[in-house]
Structure 1
Amino acid sequence: MAARPDPGHARADTTDDRVYRTIAIRLVPLLFVCYTVAYLDRVNVGFARLQMDDELWFSDAVYGIGAGVFFVGYILFEVPSNIVLHRVGARRWIARIMVSWGLVSGLMALASSPASFYLLRFLLGVAEAGFIPGILLYLTYWFPAHRRGRITALFLTAIPVATIFGGPLSGWIMQTFDGIGELRGWQWMFVLEAAPAVLLGLVVLRRLDDRVADATWLTETEKAVVARDLAADDEARPGAHTSVRSTLRSPVIWLLGGIYFTIALGIYTISFWLPTIISRSGVESTVTVGLLSAVPYLFAVVAMVWVATHADRTGERRWHTTVPCAVGGIGLVAVGLTQSATVPALVALTVAAAAISSAQAAFWSLPTALLSGVGAAAGIALVNSIGNVAGAVSTSLVGVVSEATGSTAGSLYLFGGVLVVGGGLVLALRIGR
């Protein structure tokens, strides 16, 4: 069992604080922007469907399956991608991921049938596979456990920020560019929002360093501070999984994957269906839908950082994950009960988004307490892969149920209950306290 983080570490001396502040300023903004673009390219299909349905005659089921097919390619290539990253370095591999997913995302403008829609979504998943677990692994190379929670949360706030800015941006592009150059607004959206991924891939290739030892912008004394803290982390977890085989055979890693499945179920349900829920509550303008879609995530950003900072300060991880899971589950049920009225539905979506996002940020401090070396590369990717099965399940199931019943309420009740169960499973873990 890994030793829990020592809250006393949070009171590091001024020199240590300065070192990690320098690292954070150098790395986090770039990684944050990259993830914002990644998440926008992943979920902008939720906005595209507001026009695609009328033009291509896509049903809820076709949209749901297409959105979910992304995760088939993503899951299949997740673990291999992260192992490659560990071996060849984050700089080249993350740059490759970003350029390839940008190109495929732009090609989404060519979707003209369910078959082409499914194929492009699958290829987008293959292209992006390994990005999120790769960054989570990369952060373990630079930040010790007692500082990593808040840094991870700052990185993961890219999800709500992508929605805060992406929703209005997507709505504006679709409405403003519709019909220009004989392209529909949704086609322009895919092309224009894909370009930053390719450009950022080139920036990553130039700016990112694989390890602390490669950072010419740190002095040898500063590098020694990080090396000391990371070595102390390794000593504090003598039973950590360090090989691919031991990691993949660990029941605890699979349990963590199952827990993350319940959290991701909530994340993707809101991400993919938020525009549709708001639209069906009586809002007709795509720009207004985009603006209202940003509201839940404004609160989510604040909640994520606060919960993760409090967890770092106290050294407690499990309850910081369990409680937000329970609140998020209740929030999803409330969305199902109120989705026919715009204001109540938006309040329920806000509670659910803030709580589930906080649970996700707090959760990722748990797997790294058990993992090290190439075992961390495989384990983080495996947990993320299992969790992202929820992407395929949520999008496909909500679409099918919605088409059969005329409402998404039944799926929201089910997923809310599953999320509460996931929060309960966190308490069964013997990681930290």
Structure 2
Amino acid sequence: MSYQAGAAADGARASFEDATYSKVTWRLLPLLFLCYVASYLDRVNVGFAKLQMLQDLKFSDTVYGLGAGIFFLGYFVFEVPSNMILHKVGARLWIARIMITWGIISGAMAYVTTPEMFYIMRFLLGVAEAGFFPGVILYLTYWYPAARRGKITALFMTGIALSGVIGGPLSGWIMHAMPGVWGHTGWQWMFILEAIPSLILGVMVILYMKDRIRDADWLSEEEKRLLEANISHEESQKEHLSLGAMFANGRVWLGALIYFCFVMGLYGVSFWLPTIIKATGVSDPLNVGLLTAIPYAFAAAAMVLIGRSADARRERRWHVAIPAFIGCIGLLLSTQYGHNTTLAMASLTLASVGILTTLPLFWSLPTAFLSGTAAAAGIALINSLGNLAGFVSPFLVGWLKDATQSTNAGMYVLAASLVIGGLLTLTLPAKLVNR
């Protein structure tokens, strides 16, 4: 075969492969993305409820911070078992179960009246949602090799940003427009109405999702063989750990520590962003909601662009560390401009861009060296331990706010955690994760 003919054949194969992955992406990502938007909205809309809920129920900031964070204790306890079950029974049924149960519990948050009820319902919400995010990350490894997962994971995780873009104005509008309707307050209506999408999407997952490449009746046999061959080739190059060896693997625990540092920043901002904006002098919940959309909109664009850059360059560590440092700078600047809405929003936007960009790119690190059952358990372990920061972060910020009458001290702690996470990322061997 001539050089030209060989080059043409290679080009045709690459074109077919790109077209096949594009087909997979358009089939899987829209539904998974919407599920993540709904899940994240149900998880953090308590940050908007706080604007009215604390006054109505006479809760302190410490009570709120503990309740917001206790979600992650339930999440932590059930995360690894949930992902192991998903690996055995399939993503379709298990993700649908997760979504339907968390939708029911999230809607029931509207009827909380005491701190104890608040704590119990937030804990149960964490139990219900445990396994969704690591389950999807694991599910994507069934379809995409590492070289394509950076962009795909970033696209999926822009659901965090979009939930802020959509959820902020929506939550603000509900709380502005619905008080008194059928005897419910605005924050009660917010919990009830924002739970409905999760229930609908849970049913759609059952009807629409396929567990494995071989089950996909929307792929041709040639397309299935291509995808299966790529996954099989990648799995053969990974270190196949037993479950026990996975728990003894130092890199898994290092990954959990890195993720803990990044999640500290994420939930410090997510749960307190409406409060910080209100403190700049914006009082109407609708206006607070509209302003919260700005940082998330910029973050969504950054997540996709930097994810593409990481895939194109086959470089992971600096693509994680640099956004973490940028997030730190944004948080520090936000403490200096707390009484200037424009400068505070610019600082919080910079912080959100950095923090949210670290998250999808982080997941290209452990999925590059874990496979099989070890991947199911390892991803869940890293996510569950890392998400304990979701308990520590809002509680710590709330406690410091009650103690100092300012969120500044909490922002300093979150900024430091981002720097630590970025530095720890750079200790991972480049040859292990740059795939």
- Please say whether Structure 1 and Structure 2 have the same fold, judged by a TM-score greater than 0.5: yes
Partner of 2:305: 306
The answer on 1:290 being equivalent to 2:297 is: no
CA contact (8 A) 2:99 2:199 kept: yes
Match of 2:387, SS? helix
1:12–1:344 Cα change, 3 Å: farther
The answer on 1:230 being equivalent to 2:231 is: yes
Shift of residue 142 of structure 1?
Answer: 0.6
Equivalent AA in structure 2 for residue 346 of structure 1: M
Partner of 1:21: 22
Distance 1:24 1:77 in 2: 29
Partner of 1:64: 65
* Structure 1 segments of 4+ aligned residues over 3 angstroms from their partners: 9-12
1:12–1:271 Cα change, 3 Å: farther
Shift of residue 12 of structure 1?
Answer: 7.0
Partner of 1:207: 208
Match of 1:157, SS? helix
1:257–1:12 Cα change, 3 Å: farther
String of CA shifts for 1:11-58, please: whole Å, max 9, x gaps. 971100111011000000000000000000000000001111111011
TM-score (norm 2): 0.96
Partner of 1:407: 406
CA contact (8 A) 2:240 2:372 kept: no
Shift of residue 422 of structure 1?
Answer: 1.0
Identity among equivalent pairs (%): 51
Equivalent AA in structure 1 for residue 124 of structure 2: L
Partner of 1:107: 108
String of CA shifts for 1:301-360, please: whole Å, max 9, x gaps. 110001110100110000100111111111111122222221111111000100111111
Distance 1:45 1:78 in 2: 21
User: 1:335-354 maps to which residues of 2 (within 5 A)?
Assistant: 335-354=334-353
Distance 2:270 2:19 in 1: 36
Distance 1:210 1:256 in 2: 27
Partner of 1:264: 263
Shift of residue 236 of structure 1?
Answer: 2.5
Distance 1:69 1:98 in 2: 19
Shift of residue 386 of structure 1?
Answer: 1.3
CA contact (8 A) 1:101 1:127 kept: yes
CA contact (8 A) 1:10 1:146 kept: no
Distance 1:140 1:404 in 2: 45
Partner of 1:76: 77
1:394–1:216 Cα change, 3 Å: same
Distance 2:11 2:366 in 1: 20
Shift of residue 10 of structure 1?
Answer: 12
Distance 1:92 1:200 in 2: 12
CA contact (8 A) 2:105 2:125 kept: yes
Structure 1, unpaired ranges of 5+: 1-8
CA contact (8 A) 1:10 1:147 kept: no
Partner of 2:373: 374
Distance 2:333 2:234 in 1: 41
Distance 1:142 1:201 in 2: 21
Partner of 2:363: 364
1:55–1:328 Cα change, 3 Å: same
The answer on 1:178 being equivalent to 2:173 is: no
Partner of 1:394: 393
CA contact (8 A) 1:324 1:359 kept: yes
Equivalent AA in structure 2 for residue 339 of structure 1: G
Shift of residue 174 of structure 1?
Answer: 1.0
Distance 2:223 2:372 in 1: 22
Match of 1:321, SS? helix
Partner of 2:146: 145
Equivalent AA in structure 1 for residue 120 of structure 2: L
Distance 1:386 1:337 in 2: 32
Equivalent AA in structure 2 for residue 138 of structure 1: Y
Distance 1:30 1:220 in 2: 24
1:371–1:184 Cα change, 3 Å: same
Equivalent AA in structure 2 for residue 110 of structure 1: Y
1:69–1:330 Cα change, 3 Å: same
Structure 2, unpaired ranges of 5+: 1-9
Distance 2:13 2:321 in 1: 28
Distance 2:314 2:354 in 1: 20
CA contact (8 A) 2:364 2:433 kept: no
1:245–1:11 Cα change, 3 Å: farther
Equivalent AA in structure 2 for residue 46 of structure 1: G
